[in-house]
Each structure stands twice: as structure tokens, then as C-alpha cells.
Amino acid sequence: ETARYYYSVLNSDAGADGRGYLQKRALKPETVRRFGLGFSPPGRFALVDYLAGKGFTQEEMIMANVAFKSRSGRAVDRFFSRVMFPIIDLRGNVAAFGGRTLGSGEPKYLNTSETPVFNKGSMLFALNFAKKSNGGRRLILCEGYMDAISMHQAGFTDAVATLGTALTPSQARLMSKYAKEVVVSYDSDEAGQKAASRAIPILREAGLSVKVLTISGGKDPDEYIKTYGPAKFKQMLNASGNDVEYRLGKAKLKYDAGSAQGRVGYLNEAVAVLAGVDNAMEREIYAGKLAAETGIKTETVMAQVNKHGRIDSKKERKKEFKAFRVKSAGLKDRVNPEKSRYLRAAGAEEAIIAYIIKYPENAKEIGGMLTPGQFVTQFDRRVYQALMQLAENGLPVGITGLAEMFSQDEMSSVARMLQNLSGISYNESDVRKYIEILNEEHEKKKLLAADAAQPREIKNYLDELRRQKK
């Protein structure tokens, strides 16, 4: 109802300023209609009064975040004197709004705050249209609403945009459901290029192939299309380099290739880029190109890449494990009360359990390296024993099997454990390190128990001496 109201205002006398802005941006009437663009009038009660006339309560308006409560207690329009962009979910329902001011007011763009049906970090503008485009092969990621709308108007109906924030992992995962490749099409200014650099690892982490559009002349995509036309833009889009080429190109621009110091600086940064490439063949191809470009042997470049990769991997695992331990620290755990006392051990135990559930085919091999007795906390020991029992009996090793052996509270604890560790990548060598941690912590626990027992033994000995004297 709110979207219909804003659209009707845009096409009335009160929407003249909004129409003027959209005409200036060269948007056609059919594009405005397709995206349901509208205008919020200057008055602070225009929408509130309209919705009240339609039978909506103030509480409903405030909950939907199209209004807020003033000091007097009356609902007031959240948006006024702004061009309105409905944010439509994948089912075609209006979930929220973005509004662009036409004056000098701040903020330039204002979005609906989060509501029960809207989380701006988990949605993308125009994905409701783009998901049907090009057979799920590609999406074009834009910075803002207008860039995405202009691209759709020019025929690039696979364009989407974030909702006024930096790209989130949740948005990247959402894109991966509808495309295999993402072309990052951000502004060519410094802010746009920084945002592109931040987006690349997030997209790769979601399993997407990444290309980066580089627009010369300091233009944004919308400007380029208006100046040179869709055909030229399409050529440039199809010629986009992948993210590795983009990052290597950015690194090269930083250094003076004519000096030895500049070449070393470029090589060091380029090696760091290649160390982050997962595909071994791709790494070697770019290492060869880098070697030819700099006059360094390919073997030397690859040796540095591999060395950098080992260092990065070690740092990342340490960082991830530390983050997990910090997240776990101080939390009351009724199911595993020993966890807070033996934090390092519990972290290692849970990592091993998560690994087994993720890679059940390796359960028996892990069982040969680690006995339940090496576990420090009783609850994790029980979970591990149960997993080993399932493996030995030839039953599926996982949540389903555990559910028959543990209570609902205990299964909730296992689910939280897996959720906390879902973003951590580890392999068999990491599991061996976790086993080493358990061995160390198990020994510490035994020593502490022995130390605690000593005073009791002394007391018992003295008591025995006293009895003998009597």
C-alpha cells in the first residue's frame, strides 16, 4: 500500500521534483513503472494520514518502519521529499524502501531500518528481476540503486546492488544461488575501488568466480552507458579481467617498475595475491606471467608463493581458532559446564567433533589416533564416543545418529558447536594439531588433579600418625 502511495504521488503535481530528478537521470517511464519508483511529499504526516485512511494503525506503520513516533506520541512520516526506491524480495513483495534526498539534506540515501521482514545485509536490490536473467550464469554487482536501474534499462537485466552498505557474506551466498560468476561494477573513484577490493574475497569465499570491471576516465557505470552506449559497455563488460588480474594490476600501479626497490615491492605484493589463489594451476600460470614480466625465474616466484601461503594459512588458522575461543569464553554452558574451565581443550575437542561430522569418511582414521580417554570434558567425550560407535557399527556418522543418543538440550549444544565452527576451514593436519592440544591439556588436568590430591594425602598421613599415638 505504501509503495502504491509513493508511486501515485510521483505521478501527481506533488511529485514534480521527483519526476524532474528521474528525467535528469534519463530514466524512461517504463523503467520507472517496472521498478515502482515513487516520491515522498514534503509534509510530515502525508503517508501517515493516507495509511490511517486505509485502516492501518500507528503501531503497524511504526513496526513497518515507514513512520516513527514523535515526542508528542504521534506517528510521523519517516521519508519526506525523497525519490523512493521499493526494495522487493524474491517473492515479489515490497520488503522495505530506500529514499534519495533531492536537496542538500543528510543522509543522501535513507533506508528502512531492519524489520521482521527486512535485513539489509541479506537482501539485494533488483535480484527479484536479475535471478531470471541469463540462465543463472552471471550477476553484475553495482554500488547503488541508480546504477542497477540504469543497467536494466540498457538491457543488462542481471544487475543487482547492495542496500547502502558494504557487501556482506550473506549477500554473496545469496548471489551464489543464482549465478556462477559475479562481475563487480563499482565506481572508478578511490572509494569504489576500495569497496571492490573488499568485495572480492567475500565473493570468492562464497564459491563465486569473480571479474572486476575497470572503467577508464573516472566514470561510473551509469555515466559510461549514457556517454558511449550499451554496446560499448557490453564489450567492456565481456572483456573484464578476473579478480587476480585486477589485484595484480592495482599492485603494479603502486610501484616504480624502473627501480629495483619498486620491482621488489611489486613482487612481494603480487606473491601475496597469488598465495591466496586456491587453484594450483591458476597459481602457476600467473606465477609464469609474473616471472616473464619481472625477469625472475618461475621456480623462484612459486617458492615465494608457497612460502607465503604456508605463513598465511598458519596465521588464518590461529586467528580463526582464537576467535572461536573468544566467542566461547565466559558463556554459561549447562550441558558442558567444564568448557569454561578447560577452554583450550574444549575448543580442540569441538573442532575434532565438527571435523568428523563434516568428513564422516575419516571417522575411523581419527579413531585410530585419538581415544575417548584423551578428551578433557565429559560431554565432548560422550559425543566423540557416540560418533566412534556409529562408525564402528557402519551407521551414518552425523547429527541424525546422535539425536537418538542425546537429549534435546544436548543436541542443541552440538548444533551450536557446529554453527560456531561452520566458517572455519581445516584439514587433517589441523586435526593432528588439535589432538596434540588435547594431549597437552589432558596432562595438565592430571597434574592439577595430582597437586590437589597432595594436601589430602598429607592430611590423611597426619591423621594416621595421631591415631597411632593414641
Question: CB burial class (10 A; 0-12, 13-18, 19+) of residue 266?
Answer: buried
Question: Is residue 249 domain-resident?
Answer: no
Q: Are residues 319 and 393 in the same domain?
A: no
The verdict on residue 155 lying in a domain is yes
**Nearest-CA neighbor of 125 among 145, 108, 106?**
145
Which residue, of 215, 241, 267, is where some domain finishes? 241
**Pairing label, strands 138-142, 109-111:** unpaired
Same domain, 88 and 152: no
Together in a domain, 131 and 234: yes
Residue 460's H or E segment, with its range, is helix 428-469
Q: Which of 111, 139, 169 is the last residue of a domain?
A: 111
236, 263: one domain: no
| Residue 183 domain boundaries | 127-241
Report the domain count for the chain.
4
Pairing mode, if any, of strands 209-212 and 181-185?
A: parallel
CA angle 433, 434, 435 (to 5 degrees): 90
Query: Is 45 a member of any domain?
Result: yes
* 96-130 per-position pLDDT tens digit: 999 999 877 678 888 887 777 788 888 999 999 99
Closest listed residue to residue 245, CA positions, set 212, 276, 280, 271: 212
Residue 414 within any structural domain of the chain: yes
Residue 331 resides in a domain? no
Same domain? 132 vs 213:
yes
Q: In this structure, are residues 349 and 376 in contact, taking their beta carbons and an 8 Å threshold?
A: yes
In a domain, 329, yes or no: no
**Is residue 252 helix, strand or coil?**
helix
We report the CATH number of the domain holding residue 62 as 3.90.980.10
One domain, residues 370 and 442: yes
| Ranges of H-type helices in 329-377 | 343-358, 363-369
CA of 466: how far to CAs of 45, 460, 463, in Å?
A: 90, 10, 5
Is 120 part of any domain?
no
Neighbours of 36 (CB within 10 A): 16
Query: How far apart (Å, rounded) are the C-alpha atoms in residues 428 and 437?
Result: 14
Tally of residues, the chain = 470
Single-letter amino acid code for the residue at 457: E
> DSSP letter string over 168-237?
-HHHHHHHHTT-SEEEEE--SSHHHHHHHHHHHHHHHHTT-EEEE---GGG--HHHHHHHH-HHHHHHHH
Residue 221 · residue 147 · CB < 8 Å: yes
CB 247 within 8 A of CB 196: no
208 with 276, same domain: the answer is: no
**Do residue 15 and residue 79 come from a single domain?**
yes
> Cα(266)–Cα(250) distance, rounded to whole angstroms?
10
Written as tens digits, the pLDDT of the chain (470 aa) is 999 999 999 999 999 999 999 999 999 999 999 999 999 998 888 898 999 999 998 888 888 888 888 878 888 888 889 999 999 998 898 989 999 998 776 788 888 877 777 888 889 999 999 998 877 689 999 988 999 999 999 999 999 999 888 888 889 999 999 999 999 988 877 888 888 888 988 898 888 989 988 886 657 788 888 888 899 889 888 888 888 888 888 888 888 877 888 888 888 888 888 887 777 888 888 888 888 888 888 888 888 888 876 665 555 555 555 555 545 444 456 788 888 888 888 989 999 999 999 888 888 888 888 889 899 999 999 999 999 998 888 888 888 889 888 888 888 888 888 887 776 666 777 888 898 888 888 788 777 665 554 555 545 655 665 665 55
Structural domain contains residue 118: no
Distance between CA 73 and CA 1 in Å, rounded? 23
Same domain, residue pair 131 and 107: no
| 344 and 446 in a common domain | yes
pLDDT of residue 445: 74
CATH classification at residue 134 = 3.40.1360.10
- Same-domain status, 353 and 437: yes
pLDDT value at residue 326: 47
CB of 77 closer than 8 Å to CB of 44: yes
For residues 9 and 87, state if they share a domain: yes
Which of the listed residues 198, 217, 241 is the one where a domain comes to its end?
A: 241
